[in-house]
């Protein structure tokens, strides 16, 4: 026995792998990568297909060739759209509506969230829940009563609200304000109470506490809310479809559909180009604010 | 700088009375520490002085003016919070100057005050850093700096050292004392740590269940507690309370602990305790340092007795010994060279010159 153990000690000893991953973890990672890649393919295929189609002529799109390859790449679709007055009008309408809606949303929801999160007043908790509940009502339920309200308003005052692009400035905040208020309440609630008490003792008014302390500290949340409001306004389809009809009043998502689908003729190349160009602004905003956005989504998770 | 007066202050949360009518006069330049267990109302009292809590009843005066309805910013106070409450997006200098900037002080004046406070607190080289780049102790200094630059009438400290580790706490305690010696601003300091209270305060206010148990200089509270609560709360390890009975013993008095053990009451205390002779439900209060090892020639009033030690805790400069007596665990402090051992018998001596007699029912020290 003594001999055996002596020999055994001469053999190379399996060294403990410090800091290395165990088998379970390696497998967990492999599966994660597998599904992540699957997801990435699943979600990236449509935009790639859009890009490929946007570079084709109408003839090539309808030809029975490989749909995943461009044989005669062309930028005609882009040229036509970017020189088309109506497309630029939709784009401009969308841009104005989104920017103004984001501003209106922030101007309302940030002070509202601050008041609901911090200034304890009678009914503030109920009100905060109420704000969230309004968000839960789907827009498909709202647009018919809203339409009716606008019609009655028109009867009484003579002011037409239907088929005006700026009416979207009133409509979109009904979607964005409740949700943004709700996220901002969460952010503001995660800021320690002592911070506003310190500001209060330092001589700050409620408004100064909001602008000088809360907004800078909750900046990630503010950016998350901004991105949300922008995305909702930019991509909103149902309200503009229902409330605007004339070509000069349309926003991008509706404009592309109404002007590029004529009867049963689908101008696929331009539809894809228009949608791709239309997706650019949110994409650019995401890219710039991504770091903040991620921080915004995860902050508050640990602070309760 | 100003005096602070609390007059019959009451604070109710719905039906719960957190503070139950307290009176307190704090004079100019004084350092007063409110101390007590959690939930005793000390923080609520401080927050009422700050104006962060509404007052249910009574009056608070700062510098002679009633401030019940004055908002915090107009009370001319500065507060240091337990979790520092530094503004995370501002540098140290911006944190310190925030209040002055809101009051639109001239830039030169702000700089002068910030520099001066930074010098007092030794944080000059940190002025451009953000709070996240500071250690706990440094953050605490900045929080104090923010209070100092305002040059307020009153400093309020809400358990400022609780988040620091033990060593830093002792160090910062000294710093706070030094700062107060330099700026002499009236200070109200809240803590649950009786050592902090003893070391910092000109006067300690012991609170319990929303009431003030006793107010006095640290030594007075230590040597002449008025209630069992104060006697037990101030001092570490805490005072021993041994069930006892006072009996007439010939011409003198004796404090009888059980059938075997009775200590004669020193002459000086005789007249004070005479009227309680024969009464049950008494407690003998003796601090651990008044239970020491017995030796040959002992001064009058020190009475030897035998104890079976259960546990001994060597502390270096002394050894704490624990033994059972009358159903309670008693702590004594003996010389480390006296040979105290776990589980061994030892002859100890009780110094009855420093005894306290407590009425168990009312909790009053007689």
Residue A58's nearest CA partner among A301, A303, A285, A268 is A268
| B151 CB neighbour count, 10 Å cutoff | 15
Is the pLDDT at A17 greater than 60? The verdict is no
Whether residues A136 and A278 fall in one domain? yes
Taking contacts as CB-CB distances below 8 angstroms, the residues of chain A near B73 are 200-205
Cα–Cα distance, A281 to A58 (Å, whole number): 26
Residues A109 and A67 in one domain: no
Half-sphere exposure of A98 (CA within 13 A, CB side): 25
CA–CA distance, A101 with A95 (Å, rounded to integer)? 10
pLDDT on residue A299: 47
Hey, what CATH topology would domain B4-230 get? Answer: Rossmann fold (3.40.50)
Please count the other Cβ atoms lying within 10 Å of the Cβ belonging to residue A205. 14
Residue A2 is assigned to a structural domain of this protein? no
Rounded to whole angstroms, how far apart are CA atoms A64 and A92?
37
**Closest CB from A194, A208, A219 relative to B85:** A194
Percentage of residues of chain A with pLDDT beyond 90: 29
Q: Which residues of B touch A216 (CB under 8 A)?
A: 89
| A200 lies within 8 A of chain B by CB | yes
Query: Which residues lie closer than 8 Å to B208 by C-beta, 6 or more apart?
Result: B36, B37, B40, B229, B233
Of B52, B82, B98, the CB nearest to A202: B98
Domain that holds residue A271: 77-298
Q: Is the pLDDT of residue A295 over 70?
A: no
Determine which helix (DSSP H) or strand (DSSP E) holds B138, and give its type and residue range.
helix B136-149
- Assign A19 a pLDDT band (cuts: 50, 70, 90): low
Residues B7, B268: Cα–Cα separation, whole Å = 38
Give one word for B144, left, alpha or beta, with left for phi > 0 and alpha for psi -120 to 50: alpha
The structural domain count of chain A equals 2
Q: Look at residue A4 and tell me if it is in a domain.
A: no
C-alpha span between A243 and A281 (Å, rounded): 24
Query: Across residues B72-92, what is the average pLDDT?
Result: 89
- Among the listed residues B117, B168, B178, B170, the one whose alpha carbon sits nearest the alpha carbon of residue B146: B117
Helix (H, G, I), strand (E, B) or coil at B20: strand
Q: Is the model's pLDDT at B48 over the cut of 70?
A: yes
Which helix or strand (DSSP H or E) is residue B262 part of? strand B262-264
Terminal Cα distance for chain A, rounded: 61
pLDDT at A302 over 60: no
Residues B99-110 have pLDDT tens digits of 999 999 999 999
Residues A145 and A52 in one domain: no
B196: distance to nearest CA of chain A, Å?
22
How high is the mean pLDDT of chain B?
A: 89
Q: What is the pLDDT of residue B339?
A: 83
Rounded Cα gap, residues B348 and A136, in angstroms: 75
pLDDT given at position A16: 55
pLDDT of residue A292: 67
Q: Which DSSP symbol is given to B87?
A: -
pLDDT band at residue A7 using 50, 70 and 90 as cut-offs: very low
Q: How far is B89 from chain A (nearest CA, A)?
A: 6
CA A160 from chain centre, in angstroms, equals 31
Burial class (CB in 10 A: 0-12, 13-18, 19+), B86: buried
Domain assignment present for A86:
yes
Closest chain B CA to residue A208: B102
End-to-end CA distance of chain B: 39
User: Coil, strand, or helix at residue A213?
Assistant: helix
Q: Are the beta carbons of B3 and B25 closer than 8 angstroms?
A: yes
Question: Which pLDDT score is estimated for A301?
Answer: 40
What is the 3-state secondary structure of B94-134? HHHHHHHHHCCCCHHHHHHHHHHHHHHHCCHHHCCCCHHHC
CB contact under 8 A, B87 and A203: no
Q: What is the CATH number of the domain that holds A86?
A: 1.10.3720.10
pLDDT of residue A1: 40
A34-51 pLDDT per residue, tens: 999 999 999 999 999 999
- 3-state SS assignment for residue A197: helix
Which of A111, A131, A107 is CA-nearest to residue A119? A111
- Edge-to-edge strand list for the sheet holding B262-264: B262-264, B252-256, B240-249, B282-286, B356-359
Which residues from B are below 8 Å from A202, CB to CB? 73, 98-99, 102, 146, 150
A57 or A16, greater pLDDT: A57
Q: Is residue A303 over pLDDT 60?
A: no
Mean of pLDDT over chain A: 84
Please indicate, yes or no, whether residues A200 and A232 belong to a single structural domain of this protein.
yes
Give the residue range(s) of CATH 2.40.50.140 domains in chain B. Answer: 240-359
Could you tell me if A35 and A125 lie in one domain? no
Lowest mean pLDDT among A172-181, A295-304, B127-136, B218-227: A295-304
pLDDT, one tens digit per residue, over B239-293 is 999 888 888 877 788 888 877 888 888 888 888 888 887 888 888 899 999 999 9
Whether residue A43 sits in one domain with residue A163: no
Whether residues A178 and A43 share a domain: the answer is no
In a domain, A231, yes or no: yes
Residue B253: per-residue pLDDT: 84
Residue of A nearest to B78 (CA): A201
Contact at CB, A208 and B102, closer than 8 angstroms: yes
In angstroms, the CA A205 to CA A123 distance is 22
**Cβ contact (<8 Å) for A195 and B71?**
no
Q: Does A213 contact B at CB distance below 8 Å?
A: yes
Q: Please tell me the distance in Å from B70's CA to the nearest CA on chain A.
A: 12
Q: What is the pLDDT of residue B229?
A: 92
Q: Where in chain B is the domain with CATH 3.40.50.300?
A: 4-230
Q: Are B238 and B37 in contact (CB under 8 A)?
A: no
Please give the structure tokens belonging to residue A125: 């908790």
C-alpha B164/C-alpha B177 separation (Å) is 17
The ipTM assigned to this model is 0.82
Say yes or no for a CB contact (<8 Å) between B85 and A204.
Answer: no
Lowest mean pLDDT among A85-89, A159-163, B14-18, B257-261: B257-261
Please say whether the dihedral angle defined by the alpha carbons of residues B203, B206, B210 and B213, taken in this order, is positive or negative: negative
Confidence band, pLDDT 50/70/90 cuts, at residue A297? low
Task: Output the six-digit token pair for A287.
Answer: 């890219």
Residue-wise pLDDT for A213-249, tens only, equals 999 888 888 888 898 899 999 999 999 998 988 888 8
Tens-place pLDDT, residues A124-157: 888 888 888 888 888 888 888 988 998 899 899 9
- Rounded Cα distance between A97 and A252, Å, is 11
Question: Residues of A with CB below 8 A from B159's CB?
Answer: none
Shortest Cα–Cα distance, B115 to chain A (Å): 18
Q: Do residues B228 and B365 make contact, with C-beta atoms less than 8 angstroms apart?
A: yes
DSSP state, residue B365: B
Instruction: List, for residues A176-194, the tens digit of each pLDDT value.
Output: 999 899 889 988 988 888 8
Same-domain pairing of A107 and A205: yes
The answer to whether the beta carbons of residues B126 and B134 sit under 8 Å apart is: yes
**Same structural domain, A207 and A98:** yes
pLDDT at residue number B111 = 93
Put simply, the answer to whether A198 touches B150 (Cβ < 8 Å) is no
CA distance B145 to chain A (A): 12
Same domain, A36 and A123: no
3-class state of residue A95 by DSSP: helix
**A122 in a structural domain:** yes
pLDDT at B155 over 50: yes
* A197–B52 C-beta distance less than 8 A: yes
Could you report the per-residue pLDDT of B169-209, keeping only the tens digit for each?
888 888 889 889 988 899 999 999 889 999 999 999 999 99
Does the pLDDT of residue A4 top 80, yes or no? no
Most A CBs within 10 A among B73, B76, B145, hence the mutation to make, goes to B73
Average pLDDT over residues A254-259: 87
Q: How far apart are CA B246 and CA B252, in angstroms?
A: 11
Confidence band, pLDDT 50/70/90 cuts, at residue B14: confident
Residues A173 and A201 in one domain: yes
Q: In this structure, which topology does domain B240-359 adopt according to CATH? A: OB fold (Dihydrolipoamide Acetyltransferase, E2P) (2.40.50)
The per-residue pLDDT for A14 is 59
Per DSSP, what are the bridge partners of residue B365?
B358
DSSP H/E element including B191: strand B186-191
Predicted confidence at residue A159, as pLDDT, reads: 86
Give the distance from residue B62's alpha carbon to the nearest chain A alpha carbon, in angstroms.
15
For residue B78, what are the β-bridge partners?
A: B155
Shared domain check, A255 and A196: yes
Average pLDDT over residues B111-115: 93
Q: Where are the alpha helices (DSSP H) in A190-267?
A: 193-201, 206-208, 215-217, 219-235, 238-243, 252-260
Are the beta carbons of B237 and B46 closer than 8 angstroms?
no
Q: What is the pLDDT of residue A22?
A: 79
User: Residue A257: inside a domain, yes or no?
Assistant: yes
Distance from C-alpha of A304 to C-alpha of A285, rounded to nearest angstrom: 28
Candidates B50, B52, B131, B142: best to mutate against A (most CBs of A within 10 A) is B52
- Is A13 part of any domain? no
Question: Among A288-297, B138-147, B183-192, which stretch is predicted with the lowest mean pLDDT?
Answer: A288-297
- Give B53's contacts in chain A (Cβ within 8 Å): none
Determine the pLDDT at residue B23.
92
> In a mutagenesis test of the A interface, which of B87, B114, B152 is the best target, namely the one with the most A β-carbons within 10 Å?
B87
Smallest Cβ–Cβ distance between B87 and the set A201, A213, A219 belongs to A213
Per DSSP, helices labelled H in B8-106 are 42-50, 92-102
């Amino acid at each position: 026995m003594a001999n055996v153990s002596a020999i055994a000690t001469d053999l190379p000893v399996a060294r403990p792998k410090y800091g290395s991953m165990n088998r379970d973890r390696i497998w967990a990672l492999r599966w994660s990568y597998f599904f992540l890649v699957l997801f990435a393919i699943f979600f990236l295929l449509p935009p790639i297909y859009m890009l490929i189609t946007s570079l084709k002529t109408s003839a090539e799109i309808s030809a029975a060739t490989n749909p995943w390859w461009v044989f005669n790449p062309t930028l005609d679709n882009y040229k036509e759209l970017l020189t088309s007055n109506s497309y630029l009008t939709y784009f401009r309408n969308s841009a104005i509506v989104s920017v103004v809606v984001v501003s209106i949303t922030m101007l309302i929801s940030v002070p509202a969230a601050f008041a609901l999160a911090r200034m304890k007043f009678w009914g503030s908790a109920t009100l905060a829940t109420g704000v969230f509940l309004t968000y839960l009502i789907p827009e498909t339920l709202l647009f018919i009563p809203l339409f009716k309200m606008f019609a009655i308003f028109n009867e009484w005052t003579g002011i037409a609200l239907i088929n005006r692009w700026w009416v979207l400035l009133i409509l979109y905040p009904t979607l964005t304000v409740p949700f943004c208020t709700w996220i901002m309440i969460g952010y503001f609630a995660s800021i320690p109470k002592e911070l506003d008490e310190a500001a209060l003792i330092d001589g700050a008014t409620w408004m100064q506490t909001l602008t000088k302390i809360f907004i800078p500290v909750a900046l990630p949340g503010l950016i998350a809310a901004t991105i949300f409001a922008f995305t909702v306004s930019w991509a909103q389809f149902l309200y503009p479809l229902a409330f605007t009809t004339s070509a000069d009043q349309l926003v991008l998502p509706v404009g592309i559909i109404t002007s590029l689908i004529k009867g049963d003729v689908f101008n696929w190349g331009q539809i894809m180009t228009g949608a791709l160009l239309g997706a650019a602004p949110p994409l650019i905003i995401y890219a710039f604010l991504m770091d903040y956005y991620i921080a915004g989504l995860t902050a508050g998770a640990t602070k309760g | 700088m100003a005096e602070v007066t609390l007059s019959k202050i009451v604070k109710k949360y719905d039906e719960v009375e957190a503070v139950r009518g307290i009176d307190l006069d704090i004079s100019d330049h004084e350092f007063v520490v409110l101390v007590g267990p959690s939930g005793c109302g000390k923080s609520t009292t401080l927050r009422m002085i700050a104006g962060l809590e509404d007052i249910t009843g009574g009056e608070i005066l700062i510098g002679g003016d009633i401030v019940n309805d004055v908002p915090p910013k107009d009370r001319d106070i500065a507060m240091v919070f337990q979790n520092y409450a530094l503004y995370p997006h501002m540098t140290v200098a911006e944190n310190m100057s925030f209040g002055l900037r809101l009051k639109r002080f001239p830039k030169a004046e702000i700089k002068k005050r910030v520099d001066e406070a930074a010098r007092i607190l030794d944080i000059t080289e940190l002025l451009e850093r953000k709070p996240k780049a500071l250690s706990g102790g440094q953050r605490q200094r900045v929080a104090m700096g923010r209070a100092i630059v305002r040059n307020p009438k009153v400093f309020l400290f809400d358990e400022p050292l609780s988040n620091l580790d033990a060593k830093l706490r002792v160090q910062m305690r000294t710093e706070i004392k030094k700062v107060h010696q330099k700026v002499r601003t009236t200070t109200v300091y809240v803590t649950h740590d009786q050592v902090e209270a003893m070391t910092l305060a000109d006067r300690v206010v012991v609170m319990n269940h929303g009431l003030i148990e006793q107010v006095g200089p640290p030594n007075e509270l230590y040597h002449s507690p008025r209630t069992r609560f104060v006697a037990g709360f101030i001092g570490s390890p805490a005072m021993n309370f041994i069930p006892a009975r006072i009996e007439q013993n010939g011409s003198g008095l004796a404090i009888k602990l059980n059938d075997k053990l009775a200590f004669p009451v020193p002459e000086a205390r005789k007249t004070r305790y005479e009227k309680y002779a024969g009464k049950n439900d008494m407690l003998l209060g003796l601090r651990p340092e008044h239970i020491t090892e017995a030796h040959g020639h002992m001064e009058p009033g020190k009475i030897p007795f035998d104890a079976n030690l259960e546990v001994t805790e060597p502390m270096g400069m002394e050894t704490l010994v624990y033994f059972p007596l009358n159903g309670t665990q008693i702590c004594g402090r003996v010389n480390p060279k006296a040979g105290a051992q776990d589980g061994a018998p030892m002859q100890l001596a009780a110094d009855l010159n420093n005894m306290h007699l407590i009425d168990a029912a009312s909790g009053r020290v007689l």
